[in-house]
Amino acid sequence: MSQATQVFNGVMFITNPFEKRVAGAIIRVDVLERRFAASIKASSKLALDRCGQHFELYEMSLLTTLRDQYAALTFPHDQLFKREAERQGFQLDDGHYQAVKEAASNLWEEICEDMI
pLDDT digits (tens, 9 = 90+) for 75-90: 999 999 999 999 999 9
Identify the helix (H) or strand (E) that includes residue 79.
helix 77-87
Q: Which amino acid is at 16?
A: N
Q: Where are the domains of the chain?
A: 29-115
What's the pTM value of the predicted model, to 2 decimals?
A: 0.82
**What's the pLDDT band for 3 if we cut at 50, 70, 90?**
low
